[in-house]
Amino acid sequence: MSAYKKNRAIYTVVLLICVIGFWWFENFYTPATYSASSSRPDGVSLAQIYMPTSTTGQIVHHSHYSLSYNEPFEQAEWVAYTLSKEHLTYDNRERPYFIEDPWVASKSADWRNYKNSGYDRGHLCPAGDRRFSEQAYNETFYTSNISPQNRYFNAGLWNRLEMQVRSWAKRYGEVVVVTGGVLEKGLWEIGEEGVDVPKYFYKIVAKKKGGTIQAIAFLMPNQEKEGPLTDFVVTVKAIEEKTGIDFFAEMDNATEESLERQVDLSNWKF
């Protein structure tokens, strides 16, 4: 065999190994999990009074946020977490892989469902809110914490709201955030597992002032929109009616009803 043919054969074998290796990596490689337990750890710091109800009963507690997974829609119906002033650091973190959530009993959707879909893997608990530790940051890359978002919405209106929430955490010391997509029948689906694309996303932010809980709620279409954030403020009750979730179920009925039906922008500095 000539040297040319020999080298050509070697190159062909090497190329074949690379192709097989890339295919295996894309389809079977899963990095180590980012949290060791689904039991409620101290890091969540989420008082029971702020915990929403679950329409599915599949609640998972990670170290730094909790979620309720909705298997038919292949995403969380809500993610809840505490954001304090101390959490807001500017530590540089190496972006990890998106991986399936090992603590979701039905398995969360594979990240490949989003590939070539035209939609972003939109974080519900933002990675930018969890830079204070490597584990906290990495946990936000479980696929149970993402939802299909229009890329201009994700980088625009949604990002503006996330920055506003950080501003409130700095100003008020601590806020509680509950957020997710509105999961309803007839949504467009992406990927082999049929991940539903919400038409709307919501975010509810709560804080304490003295012995009183104050809350503000946003409902936004999954597309980029101009205008101030106040254009998207709604009552908590309006989001409950769209989602079937009770957001302050542990409150006494009179207090809950009053909180959820009012919109008082004077409690929030924009």
Q: Which long-range contacts (CB under 8 A, 24 or more apart) does 151-155 make?
A: 151/118, 151/119, 151/120, 152/223, 152/224, 153/220, 153/221, 153/222, 153/223, 153/224, 153/225, 154/120, 154/122, 155/120
Known catalytic residue at 123? yes
Sequence-ordered list of residues with C-beta below 8 angstroms from that of 88, at least 6 positions apart, any chain: 129, 131, 132, 166, 169, 170
Kindly state the average pLDDT of the residues 171-181: 97
What was the pLDDT predicted at 77?
98
Q: 137, 125 in Cβ contact below 8 A?
A: no
Check pLDDT > 60 for residue 241: yes
Encode 44-87 in three state secondary structure.
Answer: HCCCHHHCCCCCCCCEEECCCCEEEEEHHHCEEEEEEEEEEHHH
**Active-site residue among 61, 64, 87, 123?**
123
Task: Look at 14-18, 21-25, 71-75, 193-197 and tell me which has the smallest mean pLDDT.
Answer: 21-25
Check pLDDT > 90 for residue 192: yes
**Distances in whole angstroms, Cα of residue 193 to Cα of each of 72, 149, 263:** 9, 17, 38
What was the pLDDT predicted at 4?
59
Every domain of the chain and the residues it spans:
1-30, 37-267
- Is the model more confident about 103 or about 45? 103
Query: For residue 78, which amino acid is it?
Result: W
37-267 adopts what CATH topology?
Answer: Extracellular Endonuclease; Chain A (3.40.570)
Check pLDDT > 80 for residue 157: yes
Token pair belonging to 157? 């209106």
List, for residues 24-53, the tens digit of each pLDDT value: 434 444 445 777 655 544 445 567 788 899
Kindly state the average pLDDT of the residues 207-211: 91
Average pLDDT, the chain: 88
- Is the model more confident about 10 or about 241? 241
Structure pTM?
A: 0.86
Kindly state the average pLDDT of the residues 253-257: 89
**Distances in whole angstroms, Cα of residue 47 to Cα of each of 29, 51, 80, 177, 233:** 37, 7, 11, 12, 24
CA–CA–CA angle 130, 131, 133 (5° rounding): 90
pLDDT band at 147 (very low <50, low <70, confident <90, very high): very high
Kindly state the average pLDDT of the residues 120-130: 97
Strand-pairing partners, residue 59, are: 68
